[in-house]
């Protein structure tokens, strides 16, 4: 009887050890593959992203699209006004934080507790991660992966690379991805020729690209454009190879 019990215990121990090794291998494989993927995309351009695929198969009445209009351009062929506009609209501390804007997160929590329209606090890095590596639907699981990938991207990518990828993969209309395709579609010119006012108007599309058209802006988009222009003026300029340079700094 004792031998039988000992035999069963050994079998349980062996199964536990096998399961433990399997879990450890799975975790190690996940970390290795994700780190390699992030490093690879630091110099390989993601011309097809998870967001594009998801929107392509998503129903039209749910924000999907039956096309993918995308054209990649390097950051030096994108107007600095577009860089400034998206920072002014989406993440004015882009050059200062390490992927997470904790002050904005706290403000969003306090705002959302009041039961008003939900306010997000995602940085440009987080949005880039969501577009390239993850799926668009919100969930706690996705937010966990988003935090993990955001940390990796901030470690292995430069701010210039983060901005370059973001401006090339952001959805700026139904089936329109990246500032080059959006500039050509809405203004008939490349992203390098976009003016300050056009850049600010294009940035108004980012929160709701499936319903906003900068070529036919609503009264709300005009008001939002004015807010973005004020923020752009306050930021002054964005130096992707250095720090944010404000108007006050330039006066010194």
Residues 198 and 178 reside in one and the same domain: yes
140 and 207 housed in the same domain: yes
CB neighbour burial string for 134-167, b if at least 16 within 10 angstroms, e if fewer: beeeeeeeeeebbebbbbbbbeebebebbbbbbb
72 in the same domain as 31: no
Do both 73 and 187 map to the same domain? Answer: yes
Quick: pLDDT tens for 56-84. Answer: 888 777 777 888 999 999 999 999 999 99
Do 5 and 88 belong to one domain?
A: no
- Which pLDDT tens digit goes with each residue over 181-206? 999 999 999 999 999 999 999 999 99
pLDDT at residue 15 tops 80: no
Please check whether residues 97 and 14 belong to one and the same domain. Answer: no
- Do 131 and 28 share a domain, yes or no? no
pTM for this structure?
A: 0.86
Q: Are residues 221 and 157 in the same domain?
A: yes
| Residue 83 and residue 140 share a domain | yes
Q: How many domains does the chain have?
A: 2
Contact between 39 and 152 under an 8 Å Cβ cutoff? The reply is no
Bridge pairing between strands 237-238 and 244-245: antiparallel
Give me the CATH number covering residue 167: 1.10.3810.10
Residues 123 and 24 in one domain: no
Residue 174, domain extent: 46-251
Distances (CA, A) of 185 to 54, 92, 226: 22, 27, 22
Higher-scoring residue by pLDDT: 17, 226: 226
Between CA 93 and CA 71 the distance in angstroms is: 27
Residue 27 gets the label, from left (phi > 0), alpha (psi -120 to 50) or beta, of: alpha
Q: Check pLDDT > 60 for residue 243.
A: no
Between 11 and 245, the higher pLDDT residue: 11
Looking at the fold, whether 168 and 60 belong to one and the same domain comes out as: yes
Question: Does one domain contain both 136 and 89?
Answer: yes
């Amino acid at each position: 009887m004792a031998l039988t019990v000992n035999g069963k215990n050994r079998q349980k121990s062996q199964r536990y050890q096998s399961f433990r090794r399997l879990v450890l291998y799975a975790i190690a494989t996940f970390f290795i593959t994700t780190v390699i993927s992030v490093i690879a995309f630091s110099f390989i351009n993601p011309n097809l992203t998870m967001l594009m695929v998801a929107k392509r198969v998503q129903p039209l009445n749910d924000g999907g699209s039956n096309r993918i209009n995308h054209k990649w351009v390097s950051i030096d062929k994108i107007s600095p006004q577009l860089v400034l506009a998206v920072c002014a609209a989406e993440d004015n501390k882009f050059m200062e934080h390490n992927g997470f804007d904790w002050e904005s997160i706290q403000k969003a929590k306090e705002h959302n507790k009041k039961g008003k329209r939900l306010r997000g606090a995602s940085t440009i890095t987080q949005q880039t991660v969501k577009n390239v590596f993850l799926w668009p639907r919100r969930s706690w699981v996705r937010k966990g992966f988003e935090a993990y990938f955001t940390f990796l991207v901030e470690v292995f990518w430069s701010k210039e690379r983060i901005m370059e990828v973001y401006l090339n993969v952001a959805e700026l209309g139904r089936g329109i991805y990246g500032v080059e395709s959006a500039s050509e579609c809405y203004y008939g010119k490349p992203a390098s020729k976009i003016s300050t006012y056009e850049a600010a108007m294009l940035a108004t599309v980012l929160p709701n690209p499936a319903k906003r058209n900068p070529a036919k802006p609503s009264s709300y988009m005009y008001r939002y454009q004015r807010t973005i222009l004020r923020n752009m003026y306050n930021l002054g300029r964005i130096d992707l190879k250095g720090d944010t340079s404000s108007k006050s700094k330039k006066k010194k």
